[in-house]
Amino acid sequence: MTRRLLLKDVYSMHPDDISRFAATLADGFSQYALFKYICGGKYDCDKMSLFWTLSLALLPDNAICIADSKEANSVLIYVRPQSKEANLFSYLKKGGLKMLLKLGFRSIIRLLRFEAEAQQVAKRHKTSNDGYLMAFATRIDKQGQGYGKPLMEYLLNYLDVYGEGCYLETLKAENVDLYTHFSFQLKEHTNIQLGSLPLYAMHRPTGI
């Protein structure tokens, strides 16, 4: 029997929460190889905060963006199937000139190239009934304390209630076991040519 969705167990983002959610994502991903690569080898929290601020502002209206509480110690973003995802060009139209100036042209090119390669992998495994787990991160000083668990439980319950599959990619090998625990299946392990970054494509089908 499927449990009811209990939004009271999580906190849903409001427009005035964007900066706080962005700060958590920037902090939580500070050890992530992809963002170090995008920043040119040395992670820049201010640049990534701006990146996440724009990403959050451009989420589709039906996207799920939740945290453990208003303090946003842990944040999860899920984009529903067939939603029109914002790309970098959309960022530029929505105030992305500031991001271009802050990140620099080379960082933007790195991001575009990674996105292009990652999308090619996604096409091999993501179906029209699959949503996309865009981000799931916990602040460094809060990791391992259970802040993210209610968010993932909410997402899995949501997927079961609405019959949606879910696709994600991670660049950390240790995350594969984490997502496997939540019924995701490893579909492909490859290396992104630009920057020699490992990519693990994972999928959670419907009906689990």
Q: Which helix (H) or strand (E) holds 24?
A: helix 18-28
Q: Which pLDDT value is given to residue 2? A: 41
The model's pTM is 0.90
Q: What is the pLDDT along the chain (208 residues), one digit of tens a residue?
A: 344 555 568 999 999 999 999 999 999 999 998 999 889 889 999 999 988 998 898 898 899 999 999 999 999 999 999 887 666 666 666 666 676 777 788 888 888 889 899 999 999 999 999 999 999 999 999 999 999 999 999 999 999 999 999 999 999 999 999 999 999 999 999 998 766 889 999 999 997 7
Torsion angle, alpha carbons of 102, 107, 108, 111, to 10: -130
Q: Of 28, 116, 33, 119, nearest to 76 (Cα)? A: 28
Q: Which pLDDT value is given to residue 41? A: 87
Q: Which pLDDT value is given to residue 184? A: 98
Q: Domain segments of the chain: what residues?
A: 9-204
Class for the domain spanning 9-204:
alpha beta
Question: Rounded distance, CA 16 to CA 141, Å?
Answer: 23
Q: Which pLDDT value is given to residue 95? A: 62
